[in-house]
Amino acid sequence: MSKPEPTAPVTADLLIPQHVAIIMDGNGRWAAARGLPRGEGHRRGVEALRKTVRAAIELGIGYLTIFSFSSENWSRPAAEVSDLLGLLRLFIRNDLKDLHRSQVRVRVIGERDDLTPDVRSLLEEAEEMTRDNRKVTLVVAFNYGSRQEIARAARRVAQQVAAGEITPEAIDADLIGRHLDAPDLPDPDLVIRTSGELRLSNFLLWQSAYSELVFVPTYWPDFDRATLEGAIAEYCRRERRFGGLAVRAGS
């Protein structure tokens, strides 16, 4: 499957990256700083997500990937896990029509088999309803871990070898990439992590091989269009080399 050609809309002085991926971190600390329960931080996090999707539409970002629940998040207290699942349900139930009206296509990456049938069918409904939309693709990473995704891809390739469909010599990076959860999407140009933490935490490890990483101190509930534009401005100052000679970010 061929990947879409990169496009780089220009807004004011910013060259807009085609694909922005965000690790939305700091909800708990945002809440703790205000003496509020962690759940309130997650609720305000959903507000920030709405604002960010709107900003992505306005700025002409083609793909926005959000890390909304990691494979490791199941180890949080049961009440918090249930809060996060509840927020996902609410987000899809309340926002799906608006997203659809705004021409947002929803895609989901992550392991679906462990999810309850109601959550699974909500995710499928969101993908189905919005499948022909072309303005922005919102990729929801849910029950997602990058090592697990790569292991799933390797398992699918191993099955093809075992079935005699391909030889081991046919395995290369391109083939593995074609068995990831959303192989038709372009790699992220820019990965942003909020809250000042400086790591990827098992997010898009394969796809971000050549992404620019921008870390912002803002806790996720305070993230807005201005913070996004600040991260994009930082991205525009980077030189991307892809292992070769310098290319200006966004070009």
Question: Which residues are near ligand FPP by CB under 6 A?
Answer: 24-29, 42, 45-46, 49, 68-69, 73, 84, 87-88, 91, 195, 220
The packing angle between helices 78-101 and 117-129, to 10°, is 20
> Which of 66, 34, 80 has the alpha carbon at shortest distance from 188?
66
Smallest separation, CB 58 to ligand FPP (Å): 20
Asked if 119 contacts 88 with a C-beta cutoff of 8 angstroms, the reply is yes
Residue among 143, 123, 24, 139 nearest 76 (CA): 143
What sign does the dihedral 202-208-210-213 (CA atoms) show?
negative
Contact 83, 41 (CB under 8 A): no
- Would you state the structure tokens that stand for residue 88, as one six-digit string? 């996902």
Q: Which is nearer to ligand FPP, 88 or 109 (CB)?
A: 88
Closest of 101, 47, 59 to residue 189, by C-alpha? 59
Task: List the one residue out of 121, 103, 125, 99 whose CA is nearest residue 112.
Answer: 121
Catalytic: which of 27, 73, 98, 187?
A: 73
Which residue number, 29 or 100, has a Cβ lying nearer to ligand FPP? Answer: 29
- Quick check: is 73 catalytic? yes
Pick the closer one to ligand FPP by CB: 221 or 250.
221
User: Is 25 labeled as catalytic in the residue annotation?
Assistant: yes
Residue of 13, 25, 95, 172 marked catalytic: 25
Q: Determine the residue with CB nearest ligand FPP.
A: 28
Nearer to ligand FPP (CB atom), residue 88 or residue 249: 88
User: What type of residue sits at position 9?
Assistant: P
Q: Which residues are catalytic?
A: 25, 73
